[in-house]
Structure 1
Amino acid sequence: MPDIRKRSGTKGVVYQVRYEDKSSATGYSYKSFPLRKEAQAFIENLSTVKQLNRQIKSLDAAVDTWLNICESEGRDGRKPVSRAVIKLYTQRARIIKAYDWGKALQEITKPDVVAFRSWLLNQYSRDQSRKVLSSLHSVLLEMISRGHIGHDPAMGVRIQSETTPIEIPSQEEVRTILRAADALATSRHSQVREAWKRYRPMIYLAVASGMRPQEYVALPRRDVLSNGIRVSQAMDRSGKIGSPKSRAGHRTIDVGQEVIQMILDFTGDEGSPDNLVFGTRTGKPMQLVPFRASAWNPLMKEAGLMVPNADTSEAQPKYTPYALRHFFASSLLMKNCDIKYVQSQMGHARAGLTLDTYGHLISVKDDARSATTRGLVGELLSA
């Protein structure tokens, strides 16, 4: 029976697996891994390799099977993905299949996946490579669950995401944005005033909830609660409304009564609970591109938050609508809300994602705490 032994040497700690091997002179062979979970996965693979279902023999066939499962029945008990997501997955599948793997699905090892990662990074952007590698990992996990392979050779093979600095409006800038929304809603031009009956509560809601734009344009009346906003659906890339992309996207956000009342005043008493709060006159969802052109850009201009484009020097909004989501998260963190609460309100699948995006704000807050702590004795003496 195979076992795991922890070994320490000049190169650090490794986990050595001893397993039966009739081809060896001693009857045993050894294999070392940097992580215990990798050693354990190797042992599990040894016990299942003889029982594998080898009906799917190539990675190309595995990728096609995975795509079909995602589209027809959904992976791991989830709902089938949308057409827009399938389109993205299909593009990634083409990239995976374009690589010359040179061996059967069951023979692919971790070094093969590492070589594939190097090929990706030399052919595509870092962000695209990371997404393709993630899809490969998903393919292999599906093959494990269906008995075609015994372990995941992509385990531990990752591409770190690029940390693009986010721009967060200041409190004063957000006040200016809200005042601009108020001004547009009371414009002397009837068409502007009429349009901003809808846009004004949208902007206030974005500030108060941190909702993604694709979530608040898909908000149904039934999800406006007495003490907050429930997120049960969102708009996908194709402009259609369906479930949020992840389970974490389903959430209830604590929203102040003044914004809830603003939404209720706009919707009135008539209409079905399934009607969209911010739908068009025909009841269809507002699309994001027209929203930016007809609402967001005029709002930024009214607020005086336009900057020159680096390439054309033409004036453009200083922020995107997503900046209000960043403002919401930063406000919670600066008010000492714990990271798990911020994660739940933002709809992040992992607290690590929240930390990766907004962790720099926590360090700023920690600096303020440190200054307060160091000043305790000084305050006592001065008193």
Structure 2
Amino acid sequence: MTDSAFATDAFIQAQIAAWMRELGSVKRLAPKTLEAYGRDVGQFMSFLSGHMGGAITLQSLKELRAADIRSFMAQRREESLGSRSLARVLSSLKNFFGFLERENILATEAFNAIRTPKIPKSLPKALTVVEAKQTITRVDEMEEEPWIAARDMAVISLCYGAGLRIAEALALTKGDLEAEVLRVTGKGGKIRMVPLIAPVRQSIETYLTLSPYKLWDDDPLFRGKKGGVLSPRIIQLRMQQLRSALGLPPSATPHALRHSFATHLLGKGGDLRAIQELLGHASLSTTQIYTAVDTERLMESYAKAHPRG
């Protein structure tokens, strides 16, 4: 039951359900993103119900004012919601009301006066080249079972050596492996081809050789101890062990290896557009954050090494 179930009439409930179906089947949002969008709109409708004194109807939404939206956002901030989450909430609401407008149900100007909360820029935490290499090579010290050690090394190698998200690595099937490249299904179901460098390819082949499970092309590439689909939690725990063994900061996560992949490529003169393609970023502006990371590292090295630093 959503937060909006008792806060809206049947017609608005039906529109929310139709909007959610569109997000899932047409826009192909990830399940967690879909859940967050639905929760945001549900909480907004619950707020409006109390704010306006009754179940929300189409007429209620036609009377929506910018002040109502600001009151809701202020309440969410009082509940300790950060700027990034508030920005997502506003995006969810705009998306839903945009759907209503496309369906010729309702058009409102209320959101035009609402500014998106400013989100402080946070640079991704990348490991050094030495730390990244150690993270991969020390995996076998954490696990006595050879095939499991090989599996975890292969997954971690894909995060650093191919820039994959952990979810992308664990969603791979055996059929996604080709001679020199890997077929990766990213966010929104978008497929990209990622080159496999020799060490990463070798780590996968070693795992496949040692794995006790026979895999067909449509089978998940990485299997759990009992043969099921490998959980991301297992790799996160493995990284936790490696952090402890290597004295790495808490920011050294599987996703940090993806950041390291991009940062190190850029540091070696990699083309920003090519890195965008490899990472599967829809916008170049998302990839450009790594130029800031590289510049920051350059300035740190400069300050340490220069006589006047």
Normalised-by-shorter TM-score class: 0.7 to 0.9
Q: Which runs of 5+ in 1 are unaligned?
A: 1-58, 233-243, 308-316, 368-383
| Cα displacement string for residues 133-153 of structure 1 (whole angstroms, at most 9, x for unaligned residues) | 111011111111100123554
Q: Distance in 2 between matches of 1:97 and 1:73?
A: 19
- Corresponding position of 1:144: 101
Shift of 1:273: 0.5
Shift of 1:320: 1.4
Show the 5 A alignment for 1:329-368.
Answer: 329-355=262-288, 357-361=289-293, 363-364=295-296
- Corresponding position of 2:91: 134
Q: Distance in 2 between matches of 1:340 and 1:107?
A: 46
- The counterpart of 2:60, out of the listed 93, 96, 104, is 104
SS of residue paired to 1:214? helix
SS of residue paired to 1:230? strand
Q: Are the counterparts in 1 of residues 182 and 195 from structure 2 also a CA contact under 8 Å? A: yes
- The counterpart of 1:64, out of the listed 5, 8, 13, is 13
- Corresponding position of 1:260: 201
- Corresponding position of 1:288: 232
SS of residue paired to 1:154? helix
Q: Distance in 1 between matches of 2:25 and 2:108?
A: 17
Q: Which has the higher contact order (CA 8 A, sep 6+)?
A: 2
Q: Distance in 2 between matches of 1:91 and 1:273?
A: 37
- Corresponding position of 1:377: none
Q: Distance in 2 between matches of 1:107 and 1:119?
A: 20
Q: Distance in 2 between matches of 1:63 and 1:344?
A: 40
- The counterpart of 1:77, out of the listed 4, 23, 26, is 26
Q: Are the counterparts in 2 of residues 72 and 80 from structure 1 also a CA contact under 8 Å? A: no
Q: Distance in 2 between matches of 1:257 and 1:279?
A: 22
Shift of 1:66: 4.9
Q: Distance in 2 between matches of 1:325 and 1:348?
A: 12
Query: Is 1:271–2:219 an aligned residue pair?
Result: no
Shift of 1:68: 1.1
| Cα displacement string for residues 36-83 of structure 1 (whole angstroms, at most 9, x for unaligned residues) | xxxxxxxxxxxxxxxxxxxxxxx956863454125445468334763x
Shift of 1:209: 1.1
SS of residue paired to 2:124? coil
Q: Are the counterparts in 2 of residues 184 and 192 from structure 1 also a CA contact under 8 Å? A: no
Query: Is 1:125–2:81 an aligned residue pair?
Result: yes
SS of residue paired to 2:130? helix
SS of residue paired to 2:168? helix
Alignment-mate amino acid for residue 305 of structure 1 = G
Q: CA RMSD in A?
A: 3.3
Shift of 1:299: 2.8
Q: Are the counterparts in 1 of residues 176 and 182 from structure 2 also a CA contact under 8 Å? A: yes
- Corresponding position of 1:202: 155
Alignment-mate amino acid for residue 358 of structure 1 = Y
Query: Is 1:180–2:138 an aligned residue pair?
Result: yes
| Cα displacement string for residues 304-328 of structure 1 (whole angstroms, at most 9, x for unaligned residues) | 2256xxxxxxxxx561121101101
Shift of 1:275: 1.3
- Corresponding position of 2:115: 157
- The counterpart of 1:227, out of the listed 180, 183, 186, is 180
- The percentage of counterpart residues that share the same residue type is 18
Change (3 A) 1:365 1:322: closer
Q: Are the counterparts in 2 of residues 110 and 154 from structure 1 also a CA contact under 8 Å? A: yes
Shift of 1:108: 3.0
Q: Runs in 1 of length 4+ with deviation above 6 angstroms? A: none
Alignment-mate amino acid for residue 88 of structure 2 = K
- The TM-score, its normalising length taken from structure 1, stands at 0.63
- Corresponding position of 2:247: 305
Query: Is 1:246–2:184 an aligned residue pair?
Result: no
SS of residue paired to 1:252? strand
| Cα displacement string for residues 268-290 of structure 1 (whole angstroms, at most 9, x for unaligned residues) | 59521011221125442111223
Structure holding more strand per residue:
1
Q: Are the counterparts in 1 of residues 30 and 188 from structure 2 also a CA contact under 8 Å? A: no
Change (3 A) 1:152 1:209: farther
Alignment-mate amino acid for residue 156 of structure 2 = I
Q: Distance in 1 between matches of 2:117 and 2:235?
A: 34
Q: Distance in 1 between matches of 2:247 and 2:100?
A: 51
Change (3 A) 1:123 1:331: same
Q: Please identify the structure whose Cα radius of gyration is greater.
A: 1
Q: Distance in 2 between matches of 1:139 and 1:286?
A: 35
Change (3 A) 1:365 1:291: closer
Aligned pair count? Answer: 280
- Corresponding position of 1:92: 40
